[in-house]
Chain A
């Protein structure tokens, strides 16, 4: 009895230690945020929040595939860009069709597009029902397209070993950017296309509302992934990651489980891409490079801790703040670079590379390492233990 209590207590202490680390990171984040708020007001905070929320969605999806399943997803940008294409190309066309406006390939040509989209926007601004419908439909179509592309990409590659798989995913990610850049009929090719704005109805508060909406969606994704990774499915994901041989021996269909993980992850990433396009209000496929939408999420994930959703969120937040700080303080802190003509904005890449290297060399598990979580909530486990002990006590006395 006393022994059991002791071990439970020890676990609690350990838990507190872990908690302290998280609290520590959150404290740093808050300090940096107040610093930025003091200097540049509320707008910079909103920008950070929106970047955080979009990249949180994308990075969490990456974490599902890489952290939990062990797929080296170096082509995250593919799903993101497909979500962006879907939102840029499909919902606007459907509305244009109902309004009797041109909706074929000419929808995407800039001379037509810049007249069309304001008309659609007027319609959207006139009724909140249509706006809401538009938003929901856009996100839905993004997720569906993302899932489809996730499945398609997984076909040639899913059976391969680690490195091969990562590299083929990387190559496919690039390919989609070039398709978008060259296919004029879809989203304008090299000319950016405007996207109808379902948030127009809020006029002055548009920015606040977008931040709120994306935040809520990011939170829902977080809850969903938390539930998913604790479910039996999540356990088989981890089993396959840690030892695919034994998972196969235990009767798991490795290819199918990995494909499912890839499909779910791609759907979520496409959601992130769609939200990003709705927020920016225009779609330029050349902007979706693997630097921004594959390597940054990797850096976020590695800093936060591979395989820990909470850690990933903290990693995204911390690095997003640092990134924004480079932009804000570029002339103040890095003025010496400007004197020889170097734009301090390139330090963003330095930061990204340095974070990856430092994390790998000095803290391979990230800020918040993955925890081994009990299958049931702690209170439930305690209940079961108590009941067993009670039963044992009764049996021994009788």
Chain B
């Protein structure tokens, strides 16, 4: 594996989870969750704290990271989102409220970083987590483990949504909140669970991304446009689309910048953010409803042609 591909896989897995988290929340609650930025950063800091205080591998702290992210999600739901949903607030108000929460979390992250520096003598403002990684089959283990974990999480989520009673109830609420409420589904619980899952996904995603990039307190702030780009690329209508979109954004960024820097020289490295944004702008221009909005079945049908005797 080329080095860019290894880091690209790690980074894209993280981006896929965060983009999936944004998509999930948008589908269920119509909320564009800005707080994903700080949830991701917090996820990274939980893993970092675990490693530097108790040692071990980054991977063993991911369950803890997930739990903490879920906690942040629940706090946001009960403190903020719930009241606004009941008030049927506009999309922008919902978005702004999560921005406020994100800024609160950002200040707590900065304070936490100060606290770590002061109390434990750590250097939490520039962290490279991948020094704690090990080698697997001659590659960085994260490049193999993290995509697998992402796929595993996605499969779990898929089974949760399609095979369990509550998952089906959740999908019903997504499709038609009023009707599902009338048939006795507790939409409050559905919203809460989606915040739990989304918060956990965002935090784990942040912890993933820190394995490929330098972890700083503003890490999430700087990558949030890319997370949103992934969600938009995915179309914001299906969870799988969001995860795929995030993954594609991450991979194009790494592959594109690697190719361009070989062709044009290393100066392009500074503009790496441009590639995913270009991709996002192109998606918005060509397929305003994202990858999921491309009428794939229709296209194939038009290529194959109508079956004889089939009505229009």
Contacts and interface: CB of A to CB of B under 8 A. Distances in A.
Interface of A: 72, 156-157, 159-160, 162-164, 166-168, 170-172, 174-175, 178-179, 181-182, 289-291, 295, 298, 302, 337, 340-343, 346-350, 352-357, 360-361, 364
B185 to A, nearest CB: 25
B232 A347 contact: no
A184 to B, nearest CB: 9
Tell me whether chain A's interface is mostly helix, strand or loop, or mixed.
Answer: helix
B271 A354 contact: no
Contact of B271 (A72, A178, A343): A178
21 contacts: A72-B95, A160-B284, A162-B91, A163-B95, A166-B92, A167-B225, A167-B228, A171-B226, A175-B225, A175-B274, A178-B270, A289-B221, A298-B96, A340-B115, A341-B114, A346-B107, A346-B111, A350-B103, A353-B105, A356-B96, A361-B84
A217 to B, nearest CB: 28
A157 B83 CA distance: 30
Q: How large is the interface on B (under 10, 10 to 19, 20 to 34, 35 or more residues)?
A: 35 or more
B281 A156 contact: yes
Given A166-B32, A174-B225, A341 B115 contact: yes
B107 A349 contact: yes
B312 interface: no
Given A72-B92, A166-B95, A295-B99, A353 B107 contact: yes
B92 A162 contact: yes
Given A166-B92, A168-B280, A343-B111, 17 more contacts: A156-B281, A163-B95, A164-B236, A166-B95, A171-B228, A175-B273, A178-B274, A179-B274, A181-B270, A340-B118, A342-B115, A352-B103, A356-B100, A357-B100, A360-B80, A361-B84, A364-B93
A247 B291 CA distance: 31
Contacts of A342: 111, 114-115, 118
Interface of B: 26, 32, 79-80, 83-84, 89-93, 95-97, 99-108, 110-111, 114-115, 117-119, 221-222, 224-226, 228-229, 232, 236, 267, 270-271, 273-274, 277, 280-281, 284-285, 288
Nearest to A290: B221
B14 to A, nearest CB: 18
B264 to A, nearest CB: 13
B101 A353 contact: yes
Contacts of B104: 349-350, 353-354, 357
A162 to B, nearest CB: 5
A347 B107 contact: yes
Contacts of B119: 340-341
Chain A to chain B: the 8 pairs with minimum beta-carbon distance, closest first: A341-B118, A182-B270, A356-B100, A353-B103, A349-B107, A353-B104, A171-B225, A357-B100
